[in-house]
Structures are given as C-alpha cells and as structure tokens.
Amino acid sequence: MSLVKILNVNILNPTASFLAPYKFEITFECIEQLKDDLEFKLIYVWSAKSSTLDQELDSLLVGPVPMGINKFVFEADAPDVSKIPKEDLLDVSVILLTCSYMEKMFTRIGYYVNNAYTDGEMQAAPPATPQLDKVQRSILADKPRVTQFAINWDDPTQEEQPPVESVEAMMAGESDGELDNGDEDEELDEDEELEEDDVDGDEDLDETEAQDEAELDDEDLDEADQMQGDDDDEMAVEDESTPMTHSAMPHAVGMEIE
C-alpha cells in the first residue's frame, strides 16, 4: 500500500508562451509519518528515442511531510532550447511530473504538450529559424497519463515493480495509461465467465437431451416388449382355445408367404 497518494494536480497555466515557466498546484495525502522528504521533478521529453535526451527542468524537496492532506505550488523553468533540434521544437512533446521517496519513484504523471504558432501565416509557412516568442504551448491538462510504481516504503532500496506504461509507449500513443482499469478488467473477466457458463450450459443441455433421448428409447423399448408380450399372450390364448386340427391345415398350407 502506498503511503502517499497524489490527489490532484492543477496546472495553473495550461496555455502559455513556450518560454514561460510551468506552474503546478499539487495536492497529496500522506497516511503515515515519513522518515524522509518527498522529491518532485518536472522532466521535458521531446524525443522517444532515448531518455538521455530528456531535460530535467527542476526538482523540489518537500518535507518534513505531516500526516493528512498537503498542498503546494511547484514551478519550473521552460526547457533549454539550445539542447533541442530546431525541427523538434514544434508539434507534440511530453512533460513528466514525478514523485519519489528516498530516490525511488512511486508516481509519474505525464501530459502531452502541443507547441505551435498562433499566427496563421506562420503556421502555414513556419520560419526556418523558430521564433519562440510567438510559439504557444498548450498542455492537455484533462488527459493525464498516470503510472504507479510499487515500492517498499520501509526499505525503498528494494527493486520496484515494473511500470504500467512506458514513456516510449506514451510518446507513440500506444496506450491510454489510465490510472484505474480495474472495472474494464472485471467486465472482461465477467464476459469470459459468461461465455464459459454458456458453453457449460450448452454441454449440460446436450447431456440432458441425450439422457432424455436414452430414457425415451428405453421407454419405447419397454413398451414394445410389453406389446410383444401381450401379442404372445393373445396368441397363446388363441392356441389354447382353438387348437389347429387337420381340417384347418389346408387353409394354412394354401397361404402364400411373400
């Protein structure tokens, strides 16, 4: 169980100039007294090829952390454009807000960022040298990608569990990275169980029908045996009451058998 839960992240300036600082109002809950501080970082990702190209915009230590609900504002500078190729300054990038305890990350929240000119003519024909003072960034604040890591809060040096979603998958748009997919998984499991129940039900029905048919066959056989027995009894009675004599023999001999 995580001792710290991020309750809300309010981006104070989701739409701003490319060069403006980032501002986040972060609300989290701590359910137990922590021995060390929490560390928050903001990372700018402009390429999915390698994490070595990422830029750490700023970091902040928060502590000592009291139990209960806490809130603070985290501000970080814009990325260093000298470290980003000109052709990668515009279009879509990603920012990652991470939270760690004793150097072990337990929460990562990613946002897509769209960088574009506000001027229509510049959008149609971007200048060879980007004019960043005319570039506006728009953070998709209502679509965060949250990744949870399981850590040992008593001994965070132990290896954490693999993340639910990788940054590469987020950059490629391969996963929605929603925080909670439990309901969907439960619905999927329920559907599978229903399908299994249908199959089992069909098999049980087939077995029941086969048993009914076998019982019907047995009943028909018993009925046929009974009828045959009755015929035999009638024949026996007739034989006893009217025994065949020599006078009756010619009629029997004269019958044609087909």
DSSP 8-state assignment for residue 75: E
Q: What is the pLDDT of residue 48?
A: 78
Q: Round to whole Å and give the CA distance between 86 and 237.
A: 115
Which residues, 6+ apart, have CB-to-CB distance to 111 below 8 Å?
11, 94, 95, 97, 139, 140, 141, 143, 144, 145
* Secondary structure of 9-31 as H, E, C letters: EEECCCEEECCCCEEEEEEEEEC
Q: What is the pLDDT of residue 209?
A: 54
Q: How far apart are the first and last CA of the chain?
A: 92
Q: Are strands 145-148 and 104-117 parallel, antiparallel or unpaired?
A: antiparallel
pLDDT grade for 1, boundaries at 50, 70 and 90? confident
Q: Round to whole Å and give the CA distance between 172 and 149.
A: 21
Average pLDDT score, the chain: 75
Instruction: Return the exposure string of 196-205: e unless at least 16 CB atoms fall within 10 Å of the residue's CB, then b.
Output: eeeeeeeeee
pLDDT grade for 181, boundaries at 50, 70 and 90? very low
The C-alpha torsion from 244 through 245 and 250 to 255, rounded to 10°, is 0
Q: Round to whole Å and give the CA distance between 145 and 23.
A: 18
Phi/psi of residue 118, nearest 5 degrees: -90, -20
Q: What is the pLDDT of residue 12?
A: 97
DSSP 8-state assignment for residue 79: P
Q: Round to whole Å and give the CA distance between 36 and 42.
A: 20
pLDDT tens per residue across span 223-250: 545 555 554 444 343 444 333 333 333 3
Sign of the CA dihedral 220, 222, 225, 227? negative
pLDDT tens per residue across span 107-157: 999 999 999 999 989 989 999 888 999 999 999 999 999 999 999 998 766
In contact, 157 and 102? CB cutoff 8 Å: yes
Over range 2-21, report the average pLDDT: 96
Which residues, 6+ apart, have CB-to-CB distance to 136 below 8 Å?
15, 16, 17, 18, 115, 116, 117, 118
